[in-house]
């Protein structure tokens, strides 16, 4: 008789995406949040971090994601709202501050599958221990459009690598993390 040991997941971090209109989730935000909630429940995570600030008209992406998560059965006391980040780098820095303050080591980052390599690269370059889960291509998005998104993300990944190699990230990280 073997024992099955399932490590608890400290948190699932869902990265935001554009709103369709003030307070209305766009398709990517909806897709990411739904996948994130599924991962949250599947992994028995302690917390769900929704990360996204005000990029266009208010409210912050994270506030919209919080409301969607509540509607999908996530308890309010298990949701942590990070509502400052305006891009992938800031998602990692601000969510990373939360992770570091709470001592989390088992964190799953959730975003679109085409965005996941860059997101994981940024989190890991900041020294954060994370794994990832990518939301799959929805059937209404053509394979060609999905491939274009993957190509665009590879270009952004290269740009991120250059910023890290140059050390351009350090002043911002130091300011936010207080180091």
State the CATH number of the domain containing residue 100: 3.40.50.620
The answer to whether residue 77 is domain-embedded is yes
The answer to whether residue 160 is domain-embedded is yes
> Which tokens go with 82?
């990070």
The answer to whether residue 6 is domain-embedded is no
**Mean pLDDT of the 122-142 span:** 90
Give the residue numbers spanning the domain of 87. Answer: 11-177
The answer to whether residue 125 is domain-embedded is yes
The answer to whether residue 51 is domain-embedded is yes
Alpha-carbon span 92 to 173, nearest angstrom: 10
The answer to whether residue 5 is domain-embedded is no
Domain count, the chain: 1
The answer to whether residue 46 is domain-embedded is yes
Share of the chain above pLDDT 90, in %: 82
The answer to whether residue 3 is domain-embedded is no
Of 162, 111, 104, 156, nearest to 132 (Cα)? 111
Q: Other CB atoms closer than 10 Å to residue 43's CB: what's the count?
A: 19
Share of the chain above pLDDT 70, in %: 96
Alpha-carbon span 93 to 172, nearest angstrom: 9
**Mean pLDDT of the 62-76 span:** 98
**Mean pLDDT of the 90-112 span:** 96
Q: 75 — phi, psi (to 5°)?
A: -65, 140
Q: Other CB atoms closer than 10 Å to residue 21's CB: what's the count?
A: 9
């Amino acid at each position: 008789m073997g024992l099955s040991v399932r490590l608890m997941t400290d948190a699932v971090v869902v990265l935001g995406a554009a709103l369709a209109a003030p307070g209305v989730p766009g398709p990517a935000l909806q897709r990411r949040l739904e996948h994130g909630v599924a991962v949250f429940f599947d992994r028995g995570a302690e917390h769900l971090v929704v990360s996204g600030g005000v990029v266009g008209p208010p409210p912050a992406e994270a506030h919209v994601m919080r409301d969607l998560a509540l509607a999908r059965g996530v308890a309010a006391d298990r949701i942590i709202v990070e509502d400052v980040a305006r891009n992938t780098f800031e998602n990692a820095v601000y969510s990373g501050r939360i992770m570091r303050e709470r001592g989390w080591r088992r964190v799953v980052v959730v975003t679109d599958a085409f965005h996941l390599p860059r997101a994981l690269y940024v989190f890991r370059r900041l020294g954060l221990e994370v794994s990832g889960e990518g939301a799959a291509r929805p059937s209404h998005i053509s394979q060609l459009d999905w491939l274009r998104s993957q190509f665009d993300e590879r270009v952004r990944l290269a740009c991120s690598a250059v910023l890290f190699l140059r050390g351009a990230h350090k002043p911002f990280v130091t300011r936010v993390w207080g180091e």
